Amino acid sequence: MKHFIRVLFLAIAMCGLGQPAHAQTGKPVTIVDANLVREADLAKLPHMTPALATTVIAKRPFKTIKDFDTALSSLSKADRAELYTKVFVPINLNTATDEEILLIPMMGPRMLREFKEYRPYAALAQFHREIGKYVDAAELARLEQYVYVPLTK
């Protein structure tokens, strides 16, 4: 029974990591959330070592992708960029800084401008409608997994 309670507590605590509880999040296609990935799985990702994975896990939760990026500062910028195709901390579409948005792999200045042009986003459906004007469905699905939209009351 104690084991069950511990597992339940851990599951509830993990729900508080990452994005706010009241948010629409993109569907993961090729990435995992850095706040939720298991240490063993993290250690298997490009440019990760067991020691770095342990360090990263100890620094969780990451409130922003910049916090995660700082935790990976021992890696080169190119290595971090490759790693972000597998693990990321989703960004708030309405408040993310230019620097945070540009950490999304293959993000350039034009798409940065488009992301910001349609703020504030009320829902992911708006993101699909607006950003879908510029990219195909596969690219839209890839981009969606890096973002979330907080729900307003």
pTM score, whole prediction = 0.83
Domain ranges of the chain: 19-148
Q: What is the reported pLDDT for 21?
A: 52
**Mean pLDDT, rounded, for 7-34:** 64
- Per-residue model confidence as pLDDT tens digits over 79-91: 999 999 999 999 9
CA angle 26, 42, 101 (to 5 degrees): 40
- Per-residue model confidence as pLDDT tens digits over 36-55: 999 999 999 999 999 999 99
CA distance 58 to 142: 28
**Mean pLDDT, rounded, for 105-120:** 96
Q: What's the chain's Rg over C-alpha atoms? A: 16
CA distance 47 to 80: 8
